[in-house]
Amino acid sequence: MSGETRELSYSQAIQEALAIAMERDDRVFLMGEDIGVYGGAFQVTGDLVHRFGESRVIDTPISELGGAGVAVGAALLGRRPVFEFQFSDFAALAMEQIVNQAAKIRFMLGGKASVPLVMRFPSGSGTGAAAQHSQSLEAWLAHVPGLKVVQPSTPHDAKGMMLAAIEDPDPVMFYEHKLLYKMKGPVPEGYYTEPLHEARVRRVGEQVTIAASAIMVHKALEAAEQLAADGISAEVIDLRSLRPMDYRTVIDSVCKTTRLVCVYEGTKQLGIGAEVSAAIAESEAFDRLDAPILRLGGADCPLPYNPDLERAAVPQVPDIVAAVRRSVRAEA
């Protein structure tokens, strides 16, 4: 049972979840580059190596493919590894183990084996880390059957979904937007979980639905505040899970509001918003639409290093405000 609620940062919430999981289950251990004494590239693992020892908080060599392979093997043998990539971009080096092994083994062995592992991916732009360290590639992995892909947007969800992910029998890809690490919010003490398959309505509205994930949820909420001052009522849906995706929550919202704006940081083409849009087009919500669906995604370019260009390459609050206004003013 969870206890009292206090304010924690997103990174503190994840660290607390890892500690609770390790205390509750000896099978849980952590792997990753510099996660030990250094505390992780973004200091998420912190002092866990001092609390649990080097046998359970393991610094790995600079080989994402090798580390991912060890994690998959350990999961197959009954352990519950949590493998941290320093940057989500580096998943490209481990796609063989993620896509061809972790995602497939349960199916290829007829359910006689499972791969209960979590892979943590610090992702997204906003830190000036340039093109090879700032991407939002979650749509890649959300395309793969056998994987679960989540993107918590709050400290509360980060803790609860991490605990649920560690207990899940299948591989969970856990995306953590880097700009969220310092964001604080209420987090209950003790153990609790959040479902890995449900969206959340973060703001109730009547005229337009904004479907977003990760950092874009907060930008959408800020945009909704500005729009409210103009008399436009926007409902904000936090997708939270990309695979499996909670289509029902979005469909029900669009049936009510009759408009949809999808906001996501990954490249617009073939991104998360394309999937959400297609789901609406194939549902009963399509006939309720009073305006075309709008997608706001990242620019079709590698992420720039220059801070002004970096901001211009991903949706910002003014872009969301402008898109919603276009949607509300559009004629069916």
Which active-site residues does the annotation give? Answer: 64, 133
Tokens representing residue 258 in the block: 């009759």
Whether the bond between 116 and the residue before it is cis, its omega within 30 degrees of 0, is no
Residues 46/39, Cβ–Cβ less than 8 Å: yes
Burial class (CB within 10 angstroms; exposed 0-12, middle 13-18, buried 19+) of 80: buried
Report which of 8, 300, 314 is spatially closest to residue 154, judged by C-alpha positions. 8
| DSSP run (H or E) holding 320 | helix 317-329
Taking the C-alpha atoms of residue 127 and residue 124, their distance in angstroms, rounded to an integer, is 8
Residues 56/30, Cβ–Cβ less than 8 Å: yes
Burial class (CB within 10 angstroms; exposed 0-12, middle 13-18, buried 19+) of 145: exposed
Question: Strand, coil or helix: what is 174?
Answer: strand
Report which of 69, 76, 82 is spatially closest to residue 105, judged by C-alpha positions. 76
Taking the C-alpha atoms of residue 249 and residue 245, their distance in angstroms, rounded to an integer, is 10
Cβ neighbour number for residue 278 with a 10 Å cutoff: 12
Taking the C-alpha atoms of residue 75 and residue 113, their distance in angstroms, rounded to an integer, is 10
Beta-strand (E) ranges in 37-165?
57-59, 80-84, 118-123, 148-150
Residues facing residue 188 across a β-bridge: 5
